[in-house]
Structure 1
Amino acid sequence: MRIGLDMMGGDYAPGEAVKGVKLFFDTVTSDAHLVLIGDEAALKPLLEEAQLDVSRYTVVHASQVIGMNEHPTRALKEKQQSSIAIGFYLLQHKKIDAFISAGNTGAMMVGTFYSIKAIEGVQRPTIATLVPRENGTYGLLLDVGLNADCKPENLVQFAILGSLYSKHILNEATPRVGLLNIGEEEGKGNLLAQAAYPMLKDETRIHFVGNVEGRDIFTDKSDVIVCEGFTGNIVLKMAESFHEIARRRGIDDEYIDRFDFEYYGGTPVLGVSEPVIIGHGISHQRAFKNMIGVAERMLETQLLEKIKESFIAK
């Protein structure tokens, strides 16, 4: 498998990206070949210093970089030689099997939708995040920001996508799906939640366990929690703040440490036809290493093929 990595994306690129590649090579037994996309002049001394096995990676030169604050659509159009644009070109033309970047999130989303498209039958692709649970495992929350406004059928599809990810990536045999709501009883919530509940209940491709409340997010009550992206993004940003507050206050707690986004690296875009993983702009080496691991796992388990089969079967 060939995994493409944007070496110029993120506040600490390319240095932390190179360190992440080295950490992956040093700690993970893998047959993956990494395609490192970026400015050769900037990468060469860093790669030489890291003393990486040259047989395990290839450098593809990119003369341009899309800045974090640039307009996504305009930047992609005007910077065809940027690391993000080249990454999507390689993915679209099957030169790589997955693409990872911690660069401009908007450019990554525009590139995803205009280069590789959604899987047939998926109305709206979604982005998900891992949720640390008190028992030491991870749940999955989606959507976390891509779809601020949703229809009930969108939440049903998020549940299907999340269930497949939970089963094949997180190894949950029969993922339990919960609908994020303001009460446990059926009929609770706003119009979206009230309309989505019976549709989720009738969906045969998931194991729906009913409503879950905010207090249940970090417990073992469900494995997949679905909501529209407005609520999901608020939950995500609040959860990320736990680790930041604890660090500022000098609190050392193993559970709180798992709220550090570097534990899971990046956010997969679910529902598109090729693996795309978007990293945090402040990613360091551990985040890059973990993003590569997620991409590898998605390819090994043939997750996208299973998603395609699920939607075709319906």
Structure 2
Amino acid sequence: MRIGLDMMGGDFAPAAAVKGVKLFLDTVASDAHLVLIGDESQLVPLLAEAQVDQSKYSVVHSSQVIGMNEHPTKALKEKPQSSISIGFHLLKNEKIDAFISAGNTGAMMVGTFYSIKAIEGVQRPTISTLVPRENGSQGLMLDVGINADCKPENLVQFAILGSLYSKHILKVDNPKVGLLNIGEEEGKGNLLAQATYPLLKENKQINFIGNIEGRDVLSEKADVIVCEGFTGNIILKMAESIYDIAARRNINDEYLNKLDSESYGGTPVLGVNKPVIIGHGISQNVAFKNMILLAQQMIESKLLEKIQESFHSGN
């Protein structure tokens, strides 16, 4: 298992990425070999200082970096020696089994769609977020940003993708799927929600429990919460702001701390042919460790193969 990591992506690169690599190797039992992509002149001294086991990683030099505010398509075209461009080249040519970056999100999405491509049958790949619940379990909400406008058929596919992720990564048997809406009754909501409900209800690949409301998002009512990315992103950012407010007010609460994006690392792009994980730009060492761990779980669980089988059998 070879996991590629963009060491130059994120606000605190490459130091935070090196610390994350060290933390992963010191705390997670793994046979993964980490392929660290970045500027050797910066990485080698940091890796030596951190005393990272040299047998557990290799460095692939990149001479360019895509900035967080650069135009994604233009940057990928004009910077073929960037850490993100090299990462996708390695992934496409099967030199690595997964690719992780906390760098330019747009460049990661463009690279994913053009280098890796969607699984056959998937209309729109999606990204999700974990939803912490008071009992310590985790739910999943999707989409949370890359599909602001959707068709009913897209939401049905998100439900299938989310159910497979919940089952094989979060270990939830027969995950309950809820459609985020402004009321529980069938027929509630806007045109998208009204048209999506019957499609979810008749789909045999998911365990659809009906509509759920905003008050249910952080509860155990649904394991997979389905919505378009416009709504999902607003809820995600609001949850992050609650953690920020608590931190500023010196409120140290075990549950509220779970709303910290650092504790989850990154989100996988679901519906594409290889594992791609996108991290928050402010990722620190714990986030990088968790992203590497998630990549390992996706590979070991054969999640993408199960998604491919599901969409092949469902078509």
Q: TM-score, normalised by structure 2?
A: 0.99
- Match of 1:178, as an amino acid? G
The alignment partner of 1:204 has SS state of coil
- Match of 1:152, as an amino acid? P
Corresponding position of 2:215? 215
Q: What CA distance in whole angstroms lies between the structure 2 residues aligned with 1:141 and 1:205?
A: 18
Q: What CA distance in whole angstroms lies between the structure 2 residues aligned with 1:171 and 1:3?
A: 22
Corresponding position of 2:196? 196
Mapping of residues 72-87 of structure 1, within 5 Å: 72-87=72-87
How far residue 95 of structure 1 moved from its aligned partner, in angstroms, is 0.3
1:98-128 CA deviation, whole Å, 9 max, x = no partner?
0000000000000000100000000000000
- Match of 1:68, as an amino acid? M
Q: What CA distance in whole angstroms lies between the structure 1 residues aligned with 2:135 and 2:174?
A: 18
Q: What CA distance in whole angstroms lies between the structure 2 residues aligned with 1:174 and 1:5?
A: 33
Q: What CA distance in whole angstroms lies between the structure 1 residues aligned with 2:76 and 2:125?
A: 20
1:10-42 CA deviation, whole Å, 9 max, x = no partner?
000000000000000000000010000000001
Corresponding position of 2:149? 149
Q: What CA distance in whole angstroms lies between the structure 2 residues aligned with 1:289 and 1:242?
A: 24
Mapping of residues 47-126 of structure 1, within 5 Å: 47-126=47-126
The alignment partner of 1:31 has SS state of coil
- Match of 2:163, as an amino acid? S
Corresponding position of 1:263? 263
How far residue 134 of structure 1 moved from its aligned partner, in angstroms, is 1.4
The alignment partner of 1:254 has SS state of coil
Q: What CA distance in whole angstroms lies between the structure 2 residues aligned with 1:212 and 1:89?
A: 41
Q: What CA distance in whole angstroms lies between the structure 1 residues aligned with 2:264 and 2:280?
A: 11
Q: What CA distance in whole angstroms lies between the structure 1 residues aligned with 2:242 and 2:35?
A: 35
Corresponding position of 2:285? 285
- Match of 2:73, as an amino acid? T
How far residue 263 of structure 1 moved from its aligned partner, in angstroms, is 1.1
Aligned-residue identity in percent: 76
The alignment partner of 1:210 has SS state of strand
The alignment partner of 1:268 has SS state of strand
How far residue 294 of structure 1 moved from its aligned partner, in angstroms, is 0.5
How far residue 262 of structure 1 moved from its aligned partner, in angstroms, is 1.1
Q: How many residues align?
A: 314
Corresponding position of 1:312? 312
How far residue 135 of structure 1 moved from its aligned partner, in angstroms, is 1.3
Corresponding position of 1:167? 167
How far residue 53 of structure 1 moved from its aligned partner, in angstroms, is 1.0
Corresponding position: 1:9 with 2:5: no
Unaligned runs of 5+ in 1: none
Corresponding position of 1:42? 42
The alignment partner of 1:19 has SS state of helix
The alignment partner of 1:267 has SS state of strand
How far residue 224 of structure 1 moved from its aligned partner, in angstroms, is 0.1
- Match of 1:185, as an amino acid? E
- Runs of 4+ displaced beyond 2 Å: none
The alignment partner of 1:146 has SS state of coil
RMSD: 0.4
Q: What CA distance in whole angstroms lies between the structure 1 residues aligned with 2:75 and 2:189?
A: 40
Q: TM-score, normalised by structure 1?
A: 1.00
Corresponding position of 1:300? 300
- Match of 2:197, as an amino acid? Y
How far residue 266 of structure 1 moved from its aligned partner, in angstroms, is 0.2
Q: What CA distance in whole angstroms lies between the structure 2 residues aligned with 1:150 and 1:217?
A: 20
1:276-300 CA deviation, whole Å, 9 max, x = no partner?
0000000000000000000000000
